[in-house]
Structure 1
């Protein structure tokens, strides 16, 4: 049975940062690290890192720190990355093309199995080695393949309706690039607002 964890949203958001850093340490051949070293490289305190990791069990040993490979594998397991949940992408325009061809889905816990669009000129073309299907085939595809997640690369005016339709077809998670916030029941939504990141940088440059 898959183990479930309880952690705050802020802790969950930090897990990928830890994971990326551990990957880099492993890549350069470093075998052990410490909460102090991780904190120094991430701009965090050692106690915060220890507190975050304690939400998921006991890792490392006092005085000798963490085995890099072991901790990276534990975080991989905690985030469910090896399971490769099936996902689809809706919206094969310019943004959908960038996301489908540049995001390393299979290194991040997902396997892209379908791409959909409404534009006749896109149907049958391939993105990331997957043929674009017409949106009217969405119901039949979901019934046959049971994707767990969907990537939304749609105009904001159609994103909410599309999200509701996808959830009704069994989608449990939405990665939303549609430049708007959407709200649906019975599904997890992660929205990517590139503008927010830029405005945050503007604030920091003016105020910090």
Structure 2
């Protein structure tokens, strides 16, 4: 567990990377690894890795390093992957369907319980094993199933109003793909805004810089 509640966002954002890299090591049958070896894989300093993990108590042994499976389990517990947070997805267009089909919610602490869309033509269509429901059914569904996470793949203009309504229905966290920087003015609500286009623009910037360097 964390030593205190003041863990920086940068540390939190590195935890999934640790979890992923340790999973790859585990698949390779590697039982232990030093902070130096892990730093070389992840392109971080060994000091940074030790500092990050010490935020949660530290898990290594001097002269031994880290036990890969145990460290991955500990980080997974911190991340909440051993939970089954009931989750709903709003917006069953191309992006919503892709997320529902290709993100393994179960290995990330979530249970995708319902998919909703305002288009009546999609009602009853299945995505995986889940039938799409009309958004008119969200309120009744939330009262019965008590989801706490919502994935938003909806038009930008609708995002704030729908999010406010979902908070009233018990949603505590949002994974937001709506191209709207969602900020919920309610205590205890978490938001992760995802802008895929921003990631691509970051890459095009770096590619542009490569071109400039080659011209010099």
Check whether the contact 2:124–2:133 (CA below 8 A) recurs between aligned residues. yes
Deviates more, 1:22-31 or 1:33-42: 33-42
1:21-78 per-residue CA deviation (whole Å, 9 max, x = no partner) reads 0000000100001111111111110100100000101201012100000000000111
Rate the CA distance shift 1:5–1:121 in 2: closer, same or farther, 3 A: farther
Gap regions ≥5 residues in structure 1: none
Q: CA RMSD in A?
A: 1.5
The number of residues matched between the two structures is 207
Rate the CA distance shift 1:87–1:44 in 2: closer, same or farther, 3 A: same
Deviation at residue 202 of structure 1 after TM alignment: 2.1
The equivalent of 1:59 in structure 2 is: 59
User: 1:123-134 maps to which residues of 2 (within 5 A)?
Assistant: 123-134=123-134
User: 1:1-208 maps to which residues of 2 (within 5 A)?
Assistant: 6=5, 7-186=7-186, 187-207=189-209
Check whether the contact 2:156–2:179 (CA below 8 A) recurs between aligned residues. yes
Distance, in Å, in 2 between the alignment partners of 1:202 and 1:104 is 29
SS in 2 for 1:167: helix
SS in 2 for 1:178: coil
SS in 1 for 2:36: helix
- In the superposition, the TM-score normalised over structure 2's length comes to 0.92
- In the superposition, the TM-score normalised over structure 1's length comes to 0.95
1:125-176 per-residue CA deviation (whole Å, 9 max, x = no partner) reads 1112111111111111111111010000001111111111111111000000
Check whether the contact 2:3–2:55 (CA below 8 A) recurs between aligned residues. no
Q: Runs in 1 of length 4+ with deviation above 6 angstroms?
A: none
Deviates more, 1:197-206 or 1:63-72: 197-206
Rate the CA distance shift 1:115–1:4 in 2: closer, same or farther, 3 A: farther
Distance, in Å, in 2 between the alignment partners of 1:202 and 1:160 is 30
SS in 2 for 1:82: coil
